[in-house]
Amino acid sequence: MSAEETRNRLLDTALELIWQSNYNSVGVNEICKQAGVTKGGFYHHFESKAQLFCAASEHYWENIKRDLDAILSPVNTPLEQLENVISFIFHHKFTPDSSCVRGSPFFSAGLQTGCEEPMINESLHKMSQNCVKYYLAMVRSLLAAGYLESEVDPERVARLLSQYVQGLAGYARVNGCQCLRGMYADMAEGFYRLVGLKREYWFATKPTWEAPKQKCLA
């Protein structure tokens, strides 16, 4: 493998293993074994598992950024953008596999490492801020088009949406598949209330953008 192929394989493998279990339980040896890379190859690219995780987070964000750009494209109406964002988050973050709801490896890693890994905290903060920027664009579009009840503070609403989704991720991870019945409607209503969507537009449209089958943002 080329150096770039080796690096990308380590990034993809780390994300997949952490997604399947959690950050603390996945070690460098297992990542190398599953990626088919020697430990020497690993340390040629990364100084530690934390550095690998941060690089994997950036790698992951660049992938889903393309999806979010498509969702919030001007070709979609503000209402379609809202419904598509809700669908994107639900089907990427909460759709269960055969045994559990995976939630978000990034959110879980932040909870596990706390303040002990400043590098990871900074990486997760950056990803969270990137998400807020997309929520902000969506809220501003809804406000400009007259879909919201009254004047709102778009920046505050964007932050609240990010916090809401992170809370849902933890809830779904703890309660598992049994919590998913009706969760899409509950999640959508939470979004409507937080953005101040006028009642006549609740569930007025269906998502027009089908999310690819991959994992979701933190």
* CA distance linking residue 6 with residue 173, whole number of Å: 31
> DSSP secondary structure string, 195-207?
HTB-GGGTT-S--
* pLDDT tens digits, 83-120: 999 988 887 766 655 455 555 666 666 666 655 677 87
* pLDDT tens digits, 163-208: 998 888 777 767 766 666 678 888 899 999 999 999 999 988 877 6
3 state DSSP class of 148? strand
Neighbour tally for 91: CB within 10 Å: 17
pLDDT of residue 216: 42
Per-domain residue ranges of the chain: 54-201
* pLDDT tens digits, 48-83: 888 988 888 888 888 888 889 999 999 999 999 999
pLDDT of residue 109: 63
**Is the pLDDT reported for residue 159 higher than 50?**
yes
pLDDT of residue 191: 96
Confidence of residue 136 (pLDDT cuts 50, 70, 90): very high
* CA distance linking residue 180 with residue 177, whole number of Å: 6
* Superfamily in which the 54-201 domain is placed by CATH: Tetracycline Repressor, domain 2 (1.10.357.10)
